[in-house]
Chains A and B, each alone.
Chain A
């Protein structure tokens, strides 16, 4: 088991989560989102299976060790979000935010598939051939390569303090690869965290605060983009 945090801020952004988890496996930091470029990761959590010979047997896909247990503070945020949606006439009768998020890949059974592969190796029904792995990896037209290049420029310029230029590149990246949620959530969380004053869950703020919509520098935000999805599109079912 190897876990990798896709976060461009310094190690302290990931530290509380890693220290709370007390992992006995390598727990690494990926401040330039190398996993997106090298493997085609497009969301978190995303999981890759690699066999003893270093061959990928399942490309990045949504995966969990068990159903998520959210801290009380996050449950409160989600409950407030659900209440606001229920009161919004434009959203009444439509799938809720969490339903849109969690209606694809089956969270509860994912770990069983890993256990099956651990026991049976290449004979596991879940292990793919090299050709299947390549075909099941993310589509990548040249536009998505350009999205990664803009993300690299945005990251570099953000660290250099050139915030406006960084945000321009983030927006260009998001337009070129709108289905890459790590590129989008990373950018939104930088500004969202500032707007709410940081804190334990500050990076989960990924859109404008009420009344500050006109001052939000991105073309999109988490809540609005998720509402554009159909059921099962956020964490697509792969098994």
Chain B
């Protein structure tokens, strides 16, 4: 995900990444990763979670990669929230299907 500044607060970080900052650390699903004491810091938190931070100096952009802290793409089996548009731009939330079995299929026009 793209960042135009690297000084996000904890709330914005949580909204972007799905990792909620709590007293016990950065938490997603049933997993919490302890953070260093002190005020929230994006760079330190990203490092603890194994999130790459790539800076494109020419364009003044940073990009934050997903967590790699477990060594696997999934740190929990709890499905992450996913909100995406349909062809008409209507946003659909995966969590709205809770109570039903879901088969989520990725495809592409290439």
Query: Quick one: closest B residue to A11, CB to CB?
Result: B87
Q: Would B104 and A50 count as touching, CB distance under 8 A?
A: yes
| Proximity string of chain A (106-146) to chain B, C-beta cutoff 8 Å, 1 when within and 0 when not | 00000000100110010000000111011101111111111
Write out the residue numbers on chain A whose beta carbons fall within 8 Å of the beta carbon of B37: none
Write out the residue numbers on chain B whose beta carbons fall within 8 Å of the beta carbon of A118: 101
Query: Quick one: closest A residue to B84, CB to CB?
Result: A28
B10 to chain A, nearest CB (A): 20
Asked whether A3 and B105 contact (CB < 8 A) given A137-B72, A145-B67, the answer is: yes
Give the contacting residue for B52; candidates A15, A18, A142; CB below 8 A: A142
Q: Total interface residues on B, using CB and 8 Å?
A: 52
For this complex, 7 residue pairs linking A to B, each with C-beta atoms less than 8 Å apart, are A35-B104, A41-B106, A56-B77, A152-B63, A153-B59, A182-B108, A188-B110
Give the contacting residue for B102; candidates A2, A13, A38, A160; CB below 8 A: A2
Write out the residue numbers on chain B whose beta carbons fall within 8 Å of the beta carbon of A17: 107, 109
Q: Would A146 and B59 count as touching, CB distance under 8 A?
A: no
Q: Would A44 and B108 count as touching, CB distance under 8 A?
A: yes
Write out the residue numbers on chain A whose beta carbons fall within 8 Å of the beta carbon of B73: 39-40, 59-60, 137-140
Query: Quick one: closest B residue to A4, CB to CB?
Result: B106
Write out the residue numbers on chain B whose beta carbons fall within 8 Å of the beta carbon of A83: none
Q: Does A165 reach chain B (CB closer than 8 Å)?
A: yes
Q: Does A53 reach chain B (CB closer than 8 Å)?
A: yes
Q: Would A142 and B109 count as touching, CB distance under 8 A?
A: no
Chain A residues proximal to chain B, CB less than 8 Å: 1-7, 11, 13-18, 26-30, 32, 34-35, 37-41, 44-57, 59-60, 63, 114, 117-118, 121, 129-131, 133-135, 137-150, 152-153, 156-157, 160, 162, 165, 169, 182, 185-186, 188-189, 203-204, 206
Write out the residue numbers on chain B whose beta carbons fall within 8 Å of the beta carbon of A13: 109
| Proximity string of chain B (10-21) to chain A, C-beta cutoff 8 Å, 1 when within and 0 when not | 000000001000
Q: Would B92 and A26 count as touching, CB distance under 8 A?
A: yes
Q: Would B61 and A52 count as touching, CB distance under 8 A?
A: no
Write out the residue numbers on chain B whose beta carbons fall within 8 Å of the beta carbon of A144: 65, 68
Q: Would A165 and B105 count as touching, CB distance under 8 A?
A: no
Q: Would B105 and A26 count as touching, CB distance under 8 A?
A: no
Q: Does B75 reach chain A (CB closer than 8 Å)?
A: yes
Known contacts A137-B73, A145-B52, A157-B59; 13 additional CB pairs below 8 A are A28-B85, A48-B105, A52-B100, A52-B101, A134-B72, A139-B72, A142-B50, A144-B68, A145-B50, A148-B66, A152-B63, A152-B64, A153-B56
Query: Quick one: closest A residue to B47, CB to CB?
Result: A142
